[in-house]
Amino acid sequence: MQERKRGIQRLNSVMQLMNGLVIRALLLSALFAGVVLPAAAQDTIEPADEQQVLSLINQERTKAGVPPLTWDERLTAAARKHSQLMIDHDTLSHQLPGEDALLLRLTAQNVRTDHDGENIALNGDVASAHVALMESPKHRANILNPQFNMVGIGVVKTGDLVYVTEDFAHVMPNYSDFEADAAAQQAITDFARSLGLPVPQRKPRTQLTHMACDMAQRDKLDSSQLPHEIPGVTSAVAWTATDLKQLPPGAKKIFSQPITSGYSLGVCFATSASQPGGVYWLLLVTY
C-alpha cells in the first residue's frame, strides 16, 4: 500500500513539472509574438559589377595593344562558384578545402582549354578591386596575357564587401567528333596545297580513331606498332594537339612530298593523367 502511495506521489510530481514547462512555453510564445528577428545578410551575385570588371579589363588590354577578351558563361559559372566558396570559408584562396584545381573546375563546366589563369580580390567595390589587381605584377600579367581569349567573372556581394574572381582561359573550339576529324583533314589539305602538291587521298579506317583513344587511356603516344598491325602502312606518326589546324613536324615531313597511295587518320579528344583538361590525340598512317 505504501509503495502505491509513493508511486502516485511521483506521478503527480512529474505531471506538475510537465505543466510548468508547458506554461513557460506558452508565456515565451506570447512574449515573442509579433517580434521579427533580423534576417541574416544574403550573399548576392552582382551581374552589373561583373560587366564593369569586363569593361575595365578590356580597357587595359586595348591600351596595351592586346585583343579584348570575350565573356564566357561557363567560365563565369566557375568564377561565381569560387567567389561564393571564398565567402563561405571567409578567406581568399585559389583553391579551398575540398575544391578542385582551376583546370578541373573549368573542365567540369565543359570548357576545353590549354591555358588558364585566375585572379581573386576582396574590396569595397569592383573598381577598387581592379586597381589593386593591376598594381600586382602577377594579376596584371593575367589581365594583359595575349594567350587568353575568354574570361568569366564572378562578383558576389556580402555585406559591404565584394568578392571578385576572374577566370581566364584560352578556350579551344568545342568540336564534335565529326568536326574535329574534318578540321584535322583540312589541315593536311591546306598544307599540301601550300606546297603546290596534289591533295592526298584519304582512306577511311575507323580503327585508327579507336587506337587514338587507346593512346589517351594509356597516356602515351605510340605509333611504332602501326606498320605491323595495319597492312600496307609505310609510315606512321602520333601526336597531341590543342589546335587541329596546326600539323606537327613529323606530319609536315610526311606531306612535304607527294603521297601517291593515300593516308588514313584517327582523331580522339580525351583527358588523361598528364592532360586533365583534355587534348586531341591523333594517329596518321600513309601507304
Q: Could you read off the pLDDT of 239-277 as tens digits, one per residue? A: 999 999 999 999 999 999 999 999 999 999 999 999 988
Tell me the pLDDT of the chain averaged across its residues: 89
Give per-residue pLDDT as tens, 77-129: 999 999 999 999 999 999 999 999 999 999 999 999 999 999 999 999 999 99
Give the pLDDT confidence score for residue 29 in this predicted structure: 45
Q: So what's the pLDDT on residue 225?
A: 85
Closest CA to 76 of 84, 66, 86: 84
**pTM for the structure as a whole:** 0.74
Confidence check: pLDDT of 40 > 80:
no
pLDDT band at 139 (very low <50, low <70, confident <90, very high): very high
Question: Quick one: pLDDT band at residue 227, thresholds 50, 70, 90?
Answer: confident
pLDDT of residue 209: 97
Q: What pLDDT is recorded for position 35?
A: 44
Residue 284: pLDDT band (50, 70, 90) is very high
